[in-house]
Chain A
Amino acid sequence: MAFAEAMRQINPDVVAAYPITPSTEIPMKFAEYVADGLVDTEYITVESEHSAITACVGASVAGARVMTASSANGVGLMHEIFPIAAAFRAPIVFGLVNRSLGAPVNIHCDHSDSMPERDSGWIQIYCEDAQEVYDTALMSVRLAEHPDVLTPVFVCQDGFITSHCYEPVDFLDDEAVTEFVGSREPRYPLLDVDNPVSYGSFVMSEHYFEIKRNQMEGMENALRVCREVSGELARITGRDYPPVERYRTDDAEYVIVIMSSAAGVVKDVADDLRSRGVRAGCLRVRMFRPFPSEEISEALSGVKCAAVLDRSASPGGTPPLAAEVRSALYTSCCAGNRMPSPVQSFIYGLGGRDLYPGDVESVFEGLSRGEHFLAPRYIGLREGTGGEERGGR
């Protein structure tokens, strides 16, 4: 709902969307705004998510400011078009309400829908609460359309946990939003018929590589521009959003790295442990693409041991956030910094299973005991005895 309200204030030129739980309320609420004449948006109803994102890409390269939303298998159906949107430098802002990918069918939150899109060329920002979703939606318009970036953005929030829970959100005035987001100035709009251009023409091996490398430059600039835009919004709202939130990590010995809504549980437990003399902290990763490697390796440089909690798995490999954190630390080590601390990987919360304070406390306890496992461990999973023999972990 916070995202839909941001959409109303942003008043995009085009929205093409297809409903899927738990993102449905975004296009549903926005359709009401359109019907009530509160926005000037061309609202395109389509027959599938694939058509929705395809219409969004067409409208975006035509020169429009475009927004949409989806979840889970809807995101999966859009998969083919995401790299095309990124390659076209189509600055679409996308409300991605995280939900587990089937099968089995499940409507609740994990990050298995957005993680397969991590290499699609889209910026990925994971929000902790509804306020952050609202603020990030506003910022993402500026970030996506910035001439140094020109890259579409996923604004991720946890399905039901963030998307459907009631919590207070501080909205800006409509006028303040209009002024902050400004208007889009497309560089090569297809509707400029006096200066015809073509997007996505057939390109063989002579130039495909160069065009893809050129595209990556937008992502390379995104961290810098995100800091600039966030700072600008912070001057209006007082709320700043760095790529990584460091919660009591400055002198921490044990740190849990996590994304999205479950960070709140980790922060609560860190507070509790601090009151008992344990130097615990929480490192919340907000930007996953581009990945803020330097901030993370710097934040973890003094810890004894860290745990990374992933809300998705990479069967046969390292869970996505843990893989990135370890890679960042290794790179930092290669750059001459000290040997990285052990990083323990955990998988939690698949299919909407809650992360409880007791779970987090157990992770911190394990870190303080120096426990270390080579394979990822599971939090809150019912595991029978002899699981290692049966499951071959």
Chain B
Amino acid sequence: MSGGGLCWQDVLPGTVTLGASSQSVETGLWRSVRPVLDAGKCVSCLRCWAQCPDASILTGDGGSVLGINMFFCKGCGICAQICPVGAISIRPESDFQGEAVSSGRGVGPLKVGELVG
């Protein structure tokens, strides 16, 4: 047996990993361009919210659009394409070098211990 991992008797059946959720996967890492919301133009019609493939549109009480979750946003640009009032623009990621990702629920990569219950 190589390494210090788990024995076959100790791994969970069915390839199951406990506590794993897409909420912990930072799909925003794939982004090369990003949408930028102009809150002054946005009318909170929620078309972007309905169409976003990664559920990255942040909404508040009453369905108002608050912003875009850059932890998940892959920069596909659908929101900018369908926005009826031009409130979302697409800008290259290089414009934002050095900025920390402040949103999302990043727990980092799963650890070996999380394979067992």
Q: Which residues of chain A are near B60, meaning CB under 8 Å?
A: none
Min C-beta distance of A66 to chain B, whole Å: 14
Min C-beta distance of A28 to chain B, whole Å: 32
Bound together, the chains give a CA A195 to CA B12 distance in angstroms of 15
Q: Encode A212-235 as 1/0 by CB contact (under 8 A) with B.
A: 011100100000000000000000
Taking a contact as CB atoms under 8 Å apart, the answer to whether A207 and B5 are in contact is yes
Contact residues, B1-44 vs A (CB, 8 A): 3, 5-21
Bound together, the chains give a CA A210 to CA B20 distance in angstroms of 19
Interface of B is mostly: loop
Which of A61, A196, A200 has the most C-beta atoms of chain B within 10 angstroms of its own C-beta? A196
Min C-beta distance of A215 to chain B, whole Å: 7
Q: Which residues of chain A are near B115, meaning CB under 8 Å?
A: 207
Of the candidates B8, B16, B17, B19, the one whose C-beta lies within 8 Å of that of A210 is: B8
Is A389 an interface residue, CB under 8 A from the partner? no
Q: Which residues of chain A are near B9, meaning CB under 8 Å?
A: 214
Taking a contact as CB atoms under 8 Å apart, the answer to whether B5 and A197 are in contact is no
Taking a contact as CB atoms under 8 Å apart, the answer to whether A89 and B14 are in contact is yes
Taking a contact as CB atoms under 8 Å apart, the answer to whether A196 and B19 are in contact is yes
Q: Which residues of chain B are near A52, meaning CB under 8 Å?
A: none
Min C-beta distance of B35 to chain A, whole Å: 28
Q: Which residues of chain B are near A119, meaning CB under 8 Å?
A: none
Of the candidates A188, A199, A206, the one whose C-beta lies within 8 Å of that of B5 is: A206
Bound together, the chains give a CA A211 to CA B112 distance in angstroms of 13
Bound together, the chains give a CA A188 to CA B14 distance in angstroms of 9
Is B110 an interface residue, CB under 8 A from the partner? yes
Taking a contact as CB atoms under 8 Å apart, the answer to whether A88 and B14 are in contact is yes
Q: Which residues of chain A are near B3, meaning CB under 8 Å?
A: 206
Taking a contact as CB atoms under 8 Å apart, the answer to whether A198 and B13 are in contact is no
Bound together, the chains give a CA A201 to CA B14 distance in angstroms of 11
Which of B8, B14, B17, B20 has the most C-beta atoms of chain A within 10 angstroms of its own C-beta? B14
Taking a contact as CB atoms under 8 Å apart, the answer to whether B17 and A198 are in contact is yes
Residues of B within 8 Å of A, CB-based: how many?
21
Min C-beta distance of B3 to chain A, whole Å: 6
Contact residues, A64-118 vs B (CB, 8 A): 87-90
Of the candidates B8, B12, B20, the one whose C-beta lies within 8 Å of that of A213 is: B8
Taking a contact as CB atoms under 8 Å apart, the answer to whether A89 and B20 are in contact is no
Q: Encode A34-47 as 1/0 by CB contact (under 8 A) with B.
A: 00000000000000
Bound together, the chains give a CA A278 to CA B27 distance in angstroms of 72
Question: In chain A, what residue has the closest Cβ to B15?
Answer: A200
Min C-beta distance of B20 to chain A, whole Å: 3
Taking a contact as CB atoms under 8 Å apart, the answer to whether B21 and A196 are in contact is yes
Of the candidates A87, A197, A199, the one whose C-beta lies within 8 Å of that of B19 is: A197
Bound together, the chains give a CA A211 to CA B5 distance in angstroms of 12
Contact residues, B46-62 vs A (CB, 8 A): none
Question: In chain A, what residue has the closest Cβ to B4?
Answer: A206
Known: A207-B115, A210-B7. A215 touches B17 (CB 8 A): no
Taking a contact as CB atoms under 8 Å apart, the answer to whether B8 and A188 are in contact is no
Taking a contact as CB atoms under 8 Å apart, the answer to whether A199 and B15 are in contact is yes
Is A203 an interface residue, CB under 8 A from the partner? yes
Taking a contact as CB atoms under 8 Å apart, the answer to whether A197 and B6 are in contact is no
What 10 A-B pairs come out closest when comparing CB atoms? A198-B20, A89-B14, A213-B8, A210-B8, A198-B17, A196-B21, A188-B16, A214-B8, A200-B15, A197-B16
14 residue pairs of the A-B complex, CB under 8 angstroms, read A87-B15, A89-B13, A187-B14, A188-B12, A197-B20, A198-B16, A198-B20, A199-B14, A200-B15, A207-B5, A209-B8, A211-B11, A211-B15, A214-B12
